[in-house]
Structure formats: structure tokens, C-alpha cells
Amino acid sequence: MESRDLPFTQVLEQEIQEWEKFRRALRKEDQQFLDGLFEKARLHVEAGGNSSRPWPFETILISMLLEHEKALVELRSKLKSRKDKGISKVGFMG
């Protein structure tokens, strides 16, 4: 059965399995980041199922990028809000 005949959730899980050797070769902290990227892709399985891209990994990558873009917009908004309030330094504990 071709991947385009499968529900997108199964296609995504197949892709995740295909990246398992790469994942195992990563440092533990990087494995967590990779896992997080695939979790972001899972947020868009419904949209992925409606995608007609010939390579499903394109849809997975766009899903990951979409979540990153949302996070960047949120961070920019928070930074602008801090600047607008006259808070110029970001405090770090450490």
C-alpha cells in the first residue's frame, strides 16, 4: 500500500520510524528536540490528510515550520510589549 493511500496519522508514524536510526545517533538532548518537532507535526494531522503533496514529508516539515512561526510571532509580540513598557533588559536567573 502506498503512503498516499494511508491515513496521514499512519504516514506520519511511518516517517517517524524511518528517522529512528538518525534519532538514536543524536545526543539525548537533541533527541528531545527532534521528538518535539514530530510532536508539532502531529498537531496538524488533519490538515496533512487534506494535503495532496506527492511527498508527505513536505507536509510534515511545513507543519513543524508553522508551529515555529507561531512561536516566533508570540515571542516577538512579547518582546515588543516589554519594549513598549520600557523594559529594556531581559532578566535571567543563574
The model's pLDDT over 40-88, given as tens digits with 9 standing for 90+, comes to: 999 999 898 888 777 889 999 999 999 999 999 999 999 999 888 887 6
Domain boundaries, the chain: 7-75
pLDDT score, position 37: 95
Name the one residue in this structure whose C-alpha cell is 538514536.
24
pLDDT score, position 21: 97
Average pLDDT over the chain, rounded to an integer: 88
How many Cβ atoms are within 10 Å of 19's Cβ, its own excluded?
A: 15
Average pLDDT, integer, range 28-33: 96
Query: Rounded to whole angstroms, how far apart are CA atoms 62 and 78?
Result: 24
Query: Rounded to whole angstroms, how far apart are CA atoms 78 and 94?
Result: 22
Query: Rounded to whole angstroms, how far apart are CA atoms 8 and 44?
Result: 10
pLDDT score, position 94: 46
Q: What is the largest CA-CA distance in the chain?
A: 59
> Which carries the bigger pLDDT value, residue 3 or residue 34?
34
How far apart, in Å, are the Cα atoms of 81 and each of 21, 84, 89? Answer: 43, 5, 12
64 grid coordinates: 513543524
